[in-house]
Amino acid sequence: MESRARIAIKALTWQLLGLVVMLGIGLAFTGSLSAGGGIALVSGVTGYLCYFLHEMAWERIGWGRKPR
């Protein structure tokens, strides 16, 4: 079982990596740093929330876990 704080930190570090990647993709497609940054920020916030909620949901599911 993971703590909510650990799940939140995992989600945050994953999204920071994703933010950098999306900034690059947004910049490549739009040619604009501000448009690419906007795309990256919206994507980052949305992705963080989805990842966190996904982890919390799976924390409640016992399927596939080995007993301690």
The full DSSP string for 6-67 is HHHHHHHHHHHHHHHHHHHHHHHHHS-HHHHHHHHHHHHHHHHHHHHHHHHHHHT--TTPPP
pLDDT at 38: 92
pLDDT at 32: 95
SS3 call for 5: helix
pLDDT at 3: 85
**Residue boundaries of the structural domains of the chain:** 4-59
Residues in the chain: 68
pLDDT at 57: 93
Mean pLDDT, the chain cut into blocks of 10 residues (68 residues total): 83 85 92 92 86 88 83
